[in-house]
Amino acid sequence: MQKQMSESERQLFLLGGHDLEMLTIRQQLDRTGIAYVDHQLRWDNARLSSYRKELEEASAKDWIVYGVELQEDIPKPPGYRAIDHHNSFAHFDSALEQVMALLGQPMDRYQQLVAANDKGYIPGMLEIAATQDEINLIRHADRKAQGITDEDESLAEKAVTNNCTKIGDLFVVKAFSSRFSPICDRLFPFRSLLVYTDEEWVYYGKGMENVKKFFEKEYLADNLFCGGGENGYVGAKCGVYSLEEIQKMVEHIKKIEK
């Protein structure tokens, strides 16, 4: 007689774009022996359709599938459950916290720091009394997990030195690459920060909700993304807007924050 599989044995996690939180989730799944598939995605290409084959196979086996921070660009099959804390999921716990709760496991200090960083950046870590050494450790690990290279770090330094202006409490930086996190880390602490290229922009910090409200139609059209709470971030998806449209949006944001 064939042994019936337990619920945990019928679970499959599909992992989204790599950052420190996603790699920490993967490490925990490895420790507990829970099945997962990792297509080594980035934030900008972390789509449910990347796992079309796995979804079909899991559906045929009647497995429960958890998609971790995946953009739902195809219909969700039966038994699929999303794990996220961005955009319409912004009021949820971090993805790491949700996964740990599903596994019924407590979080250690490192995991707490990872979750706080992913939800609220450095201020989020400060809320749980992170030391400067802990903050430096987590931020360095997060940039590495995102694939930030030495060249990206150099370009961030160049952007901060040569392309940074300030309008009231708002820092405005024209970046030389799409890697914004090393710019944020170099300018922290900041009240508000706008980083942009010819193809995208992201606004961080105080006033985020004002910016999001100003571009509400764009947000509802799924052309923007947001996260991190009321003082988190909102940005335009890369490649959605033309150079002229990006420039106009940047100028609007500057006026909002005057």
The mean pLDDT of 171-185, rounded to a whole number, is 97
Domain residue spans of the chain? 8-107, 151-256
What is the helix (H) or strand (E) element at residue 8, kind and residue range? none
| Range with the poorest average pLDDT among 85-89, 110-114, 188-192, 197-201 | 85-89
Q: Which DSSP symbol is given to 27?
A: H
Torsion sign over Cα 243, 245, 247, 253: negative
Nearest to 134 by CA among 108, 160, 157, 155: 108
What is the helix (H) or strand (E) element at residue 12, kind and residue range? strand 11-15
pLDDT, tens digit (0-9, with 9 covering 90-100), for 209-255: 999 999 999 999 999 999 888 889 999 999 999 999 999 999 999 99
Confidence of residue 11 (pLDDT cuts 50, 70, 90): very high
pTM: 0.88
pLDDT at site 230: 80
212 contact partners, CB below 8 Å, separation of at least 6: 219, 224, 226, 234
Confidence of residue 7 (pLDDT cuts 50, 70, 90): low
pLDDT at 207 exceeding the cut of 80: yes
What is the percent of the chain with per-residue pLDDT over 90, rounded to a whole number? 86
Q: Which CATH number is 8-107 given?
A: 3.40.50
Decide which of 3.10.310.30, 3.30.70.270, 1.10.150.20, 3.90.1170.10 is the CATH code for 151-256: 3.10.310.30
Q: How would you label 37-57 residue by residue, b for 16+ Cβ within 10 Å and e otherwise?
A: bbeebebeebbbebbeebbee
